[in-house]
Amino acid sequence: MASSSTLQTHSIWQSIRFLVLWNLANTLPWIAAGMVYRYLLPITPLAWVCACLFVGFAQWLVLQRYIAGIQQWAVATFLGGIIGFMGFAASILATVVVPLLTGIAVGIAQWLVLRHKLTAAFWWIVATTVGAIVGMALGYLGPSLFSFSASNAIENTVFVVGVGIQVGSSLVTGVTMLWLLRRNANRKSVLEQ
């Protein structure tokens, strides 16, 4: 439930708290999906479906405190993620195209939820797309910062790339969401359903 006091006064600590929660909501579900992939269902599309479900739900848990009537968020995130993943099968440049398509698709799907709640919500599409680009850059830079033994180099590299992508992306989208929430702090549609 959103409260006006939550939105109207954002101390630096509240902003940091939001960014930490947002980062966890974006990163931990991908780790969980990776575990599902590794230990339960080693099928890439199923792991992606799990990740999209987990991320949508985790983001919703964070946002419901700030934006009333945001129940569609998890479904929008899931559908946007699935549409983005469809680019994987169709793309030769999957490592570049899939995150970019996913950023755009998730951004549009989530924007459909935000557009009636927040002014300037169209910036969310830009944020998810830029977040995907920043995340990819950080993700692919990550493995060069670590050295892994030959026995688990591939698994560790994939893990570092995945976490880097999520951290980079969630930093961009987290800062954007904070900006949107502050911009809309007194708006009735944010506070009430």
116, 68 in Cβ contact below 8 A?
no
- pLDDT tens string 65-85: 899 889 899 999 999 888 877
Model confidence at 3, pLDDT cuts 50, 70, 90, reads: very low
Q: What is the pLDDT of residue 193?
A: 39
pLDDT value of position 74 = 92
* Residue listed under structure tokens 């830029």: 130
Strand, coil or helix: 172: helix
* Percent of the chain scoring above 70 in pLDDT: 72
**Distance from chain centroid for Cα 128:** 8
Q: Compute, in degrees rounded to 10, the torsion defined by CA atoms 9, 12, 17, 18.
A: 60
pLDDT reported for residue 5: 40
- Name which of 117, 109, 111, 124 is nearest 75 in CA terms: 109
pLDDT tier for residue 41 given thresholds of 50, 70 and 90: low
What's at 86, amino acid-wise? M
6 has pLDDT over 50: no
Q: Is the pLDDT of residue 33 over 80?
A: no
